[in-house]
Amino acid sequence: MMKAVGYFKSKSISEADSLIDLEIEEPTLEPLDLLVEVKAVSVNPVDYKVRETRESISGQPIILGWDAAGIVVNVGSEVHGFKRGDHVYYAGDLMRQGSNAQFHAVDSRLVGRMPKSLSFTEAAALPLTSLTAYEGLFGKLKVPTDKEFNLLIIGGAGGVSSIVLQLVKALTKGKAFVTYGRESSKEWLQQLGADGFLNRENTLLEGMKSLTLPWFDSIFSTTHTAEYIPEFSRIIRPFGDVCLIDDPDILDIASLKSKSASVCWEFMFAKSLNKYDMESQGEILHILADLVEKGAVKSTATTVLKGLIAENFKKAHSILESGTSTGKIVVEY
């Protein structure tokens, strides 16, 4: 048996049993799986979004958690490249039980070796946001690495945005401009090397003009896209690109036709959901580990809660649901 935090019924995070402490069976390995002794997890908006929409129908609890760092304690019969004792980090599979537990089974193709210079807590903050940022930048927006460009990041101080900004600075010749709402957020973004700032109190067009830019070549939108998209047509260059990761109920992109702009989604779980190119996520995590070792990317862990207990996860969900978090919230076991 092992300790875990989960739930049975979808409830408001303010309710006492929205997340509960549990004792459950250790997971059984599939041929390509690693069994990981989890040392730290970070909490993401996807955690509370799943909690709000998914309920147990089998009588088994739902265990959330899609960002983890830990130690390999067993390997499946078809696993290659990993062994017991390896320190690893990963984001996992949305449709399997999550990592808010002592032990976690994860497909080895989704896993990377943890940066040696980071603690488990620091490493746990990186996988999901880094995969989202990397795939969005280079797979969807296809930003160049060898020439200048101007990228606007909407929601600059969040977990994904914090990595997008660092990857632009580390791997390209582009400039990254970010929106912010609080001075603490601006200070965080300055530390990460943002090239310019757009205050949310002003329109995006006003912000762009204050930076003396003619337009943005690409926009990476992490939040409130439906509200911002009418403004995008005023600030995107002709044949520019918009990538979004949030979940608007309706997205009216008609205003972008006059610019022949492209609009795409980035959803890092699409690969594991569809069993498509899963190895690429492990490869991206290896690339990220190298960048961390070179000092080009740093962990975005900003809030650390200690202990595998429901109260810590409830606190993390509450902070994320309030929309006031900067960087990442990590629970250290």
Locate the domains of the chain by residue range: 2-126+272-332, 129-265
Contacts of 80 (CB under 8 A, 6+ apart): 108
d(CA 239, CA 258) in angstroms, rounded, equals 9
Residuewise pLDDT in 10s, the chain (333 residues): 999 999 999 999 999 999 999 999 999 999 999 999 999 999 999 999 999 999 999 899 999 999 999 999 999 999 999 999 999 999 999 999 999 999 999 999 999 999 999 999 999 999 999 999 999 999 999 999 999 999 999 997 889 999 999 999 999 999 999 999 999 889 999 999 999 999 999 999 999 999 999 999 999 999 999 999 999 999 999 999 999 999 999 999 999 999 999 999 999 999 999 999 999 999 999 999 999 999 999 999 999 999 999 999 999 999 999 988 888 999 999
- Name the amino acid, one letter, at 9: K
Q: Nearest to residue 73, comparing CAs of 106, 36, 100?
A: 36
CB-based burial, 53-78: b 16+ in 10 Å, e otherwise: eeeeeeeebbbbbbbbbbbbeebbee
**What pTM was computed for the model?**
0.95
Q: What is the pLDDT of residue 261?
A: 98
The Cα-based distances of 81 to 38, 69, 89, 282 in angstroms read 19, 17, 14, 11
Structure tokens at 57: 């129908």
Task: Using alpha carbons, list the distances in angstroms from residue 161 to 107, 130, 232.
Answer: 26, 9, 18
Q: Which residue is associated with the tokens 């147990």? A: 56
Does 3.90.1150.10 match the CATH number of domain 2-126+272-332? no
Nearest by Cα to 77 from 27, 114, 26, 35: 35
What is the C-alpha radius of gyration for the chain, rounded to an integer number of angstroms? 20
CATH code matching the domain that covers 129-265, chosen among 1.10.357.140, 3.20.20.70, 3.40.50.720, 1.20.1070.10: 3.40.50.720
Parallel/antiparallel/unpaired status of strands 20-24 and 33-43: unpaired
From CA 126, how far away is CA 300, in angstroms rounded? 7
